[in-house]
Structures are given as structure tokens and as C-alpha cells.
Amino acid sequence: MAGIDLTTAQAKLTEYLTAETAVLAGQDITIDGTRFTRADLAAVQRGIEIWNGRVARLSRTGGIRVGEVIPR
């Protein structure tokens, strides 16, 4: 994710969460030139999932991560 830092990802997540609230209230909202209406709720929620994932990945600190443990 070159060029996307935690601050940017958090701002986009906040923008999509705000959009979801507005769309659920029957309002229209525009994000990056794209207009969303109630019919676009699924697209807004996909944006929330994407940006939430990016925030989660960028928020991780270093440390040991264990992907799989195989007992011997």
C-alpha cells in the first residue's frame, strides 16, 4: 500500500462511516467525486470494509506473528 499511511486510511474510514450514516438517513453524499445514495449502501459498506482493513494493517506494531503452530 505504497503512499497510504495510517492517518490517510483513518480519514477515509471516517469518511465512509459518515457516508453510511448519511445514506441510511436517506441523504446523498459524495466521496472523491462519486455520489452515493441509499441504493449504493452496499458500495459504501464495501468501502468501510476496505478502509477498516487498511487501518488494521497499518495499526499493527512490530512483534512476533505466528501464522500456524504444528505440534510435534
Give a yes or no: residue 33 inside a domain.
yes
Q: What is the pLDDT of residue 66?
A: 56
Residue 16 CB coordination number (10 Å): 23
Continuous H helices in 1-72: 6-24, 41-59
Give a yes or no: residue 52 inside a domain.
yes
Give a yes or no: residue 54 inside a domain.
yes
Question: 15-37: per-residue pLDDT in tens?
Answer: 999 999 998 998 988 889 999 88
Give a yes or no: residue 43 inside a domain.
yes
Give a yes or no: residue 69 inside a domain.
no
Please choose, from the candidates 51, 66, 20, 6, the residue with its C-alpha nearest in 3D space to the C-alpha of residue 28.
Answer: 20
Average pLDDT of the segment spanning 37-45: 90
Phi, psi for residue 19 in degrees, rounded to 5: -65, -40
pLDDT at residue 48 tops 70: yes
Residue 25: give the domain boundaries.
6-58
pLDDT at residue 56 tops 70: yes
Give a yes or no: residue 21 inside a domain.
yes
Give a yes or no: residue 65 inside a domain.
no
Amino acid letter at 42?
A
| Number of domains into which the chain is organized | 1
- What is the pLDDT confidence band of residue 9, given thresholds at 50, 70 and 90? very high
The grid coordinates listed for 27 are 441523504
Give a yes or no: residue 37 inside a domain.
yes
Q: What percent of the chain is modeled with pLDDT above 90?
A: 50
